[in-house]
Amino acid sequence: MSVPRFAVIGHPVSHSLSPRIHAAFSHQTGIAMDYGTLDAAPTDLAAALERFHRDGGAGANVTMPHKRAAAALCESLADRAERSGVVNTLVRTATGWRGDNTDGLGLVRDLTDRHSQDLRGRRVLLIGAGGAAHGVAPALLDAGIADLFIVNRTESRTDALADALGEPARVHPRYFRDLDTLGSFDLIINATSIGHDADGSELPLPGSLIRRRCDVVDLAYGEAAIGFLAWARASGADRLIDGLGMLVEQAAESFELWHGVHPDTDAIHDELRAEHPIGSIGR
């Protein structure tokens, strides 16, 4: 009996930790799977997925820059993928690809379970309106936050995300020119590359965004998150969290969609954290 094939598809994708994470889940659960990487340029996504299916592909994770395009290629979408408009998990059915999105639940699980965050009633700033922001915004609302302010460099994308979420009472599109007037937040999430090429000292963000006991998250992990988290620490943030935990948790949700078993995430998270020691940093 052949081992089912799975992969993470992106461009570039060779750096991805997903094969290692899923190998750990496979070993832990005793569920055999062949999980690799699939590099596809944006113009080759549809053909790459078709080749993957013909070669026995049963499911895939989707990363940059394909999350929106992958949704358009799906024969059906889970409710949370329909709501977010982006896909990070594909499941092959008898009639085509079914798209889902586990990013938001992965982030919420990391914040609530691993970092003991209570998201209910919090005033949240989401920086970015691309695929990553689309993936996490619905889950934040479902977790009970009080207000979600969205800022992005491209104003039309900010408005599009706010419109897609469909909750005008809680979702507030704003623009970078408004940052000085937004007040302070309980939680700030960076879903962009802001700060990823800097030391955090010249970010276009006012320290007034951070209120007492504000927590700050960068959805990137490791060195890429250093600049933004350095800005947050210098501005007085209470707790700094990078995206490694979210990466592991969203992978576990994908694994469960494919195999019907939810793996334990602590061992592989701790192993990867030892190699990428940014994570949650106290003042």
Ligand-binding annotation for 199, yes or no, is no
Quote the crossing angle between the two packed helices 18-29 and 266-275, to the nearest 10°: 150
CA trace torsion 205, 206, 209, 210 (10° rounding)? 100
Ligand-binding annotation for 152, yes or no, is yes
Give the DSSP letter string of 125-159: EEE--SHHHHHHHHHHHHTT-SEEEEEESSHHHHH
Q: Which secondary-structure segment (H or E) carries 18?
A: helix 18-29
Ligand-binding annotation for 175, yes or no, is no
Ligand-binding annotation for 247, yes or no, is no
CA angle 139, 145, 151 (to 5 degrees): 80
Ligand-binding annotation for 30, yes or no, is no
Ligand-binding annotation for 117, yes or no, is no
Ligand-binding annotation for 28, yes or no, is no
Q: Which of 238, 235, 241, 200 is nearest to 218 (CA)?
A: 241
Ligand-binding annotation for 153, yes or no, is yes
* Catalytic one of 67, 92, 122, 259: 67
d(CA 181, CA 276): 35
Ligand-binding annotation for 154, yes or no, is yes
Answer whether 87's CB lies under 8 Å from 101's CB: yes
Ligand-binding annotation for 36, yes or no, is no
Q: Which of 199, 277, 265 is nearest to 232 (CA)?
A: 199
> Does 6 participate in catalysis according to the annotation?
no
Ligand-binding annotation for 37, yes or no, is no
Ligand-binding annotation for 141, yes or no, is no
Ligand-binding annotation for 221, yes or no, is yes
Ligand-binding annotation for 18, yes or no, is yes
In this structure, what token pair is assigned to residue 110? 């990391």
Edge-to-edge strands of the sheet including 5-10? 34-39, 5-10, 57-62, 89-92, 97-100, 76-77
d(CA 190, CA 194): 8
What are the catalytic residues? 67
Enumerate the known binding-site residues: 16-18, 63, 79, 88, 103, 128-132, 152-157, 219, 221, 243, 250
- Residues at the annotated binding site for NADP(+)? 79, 128-132, 152-157, 219, 243
Q: Residues marked as binding for shikimate? A: 16-18, 63, 88, 103, 221, 250
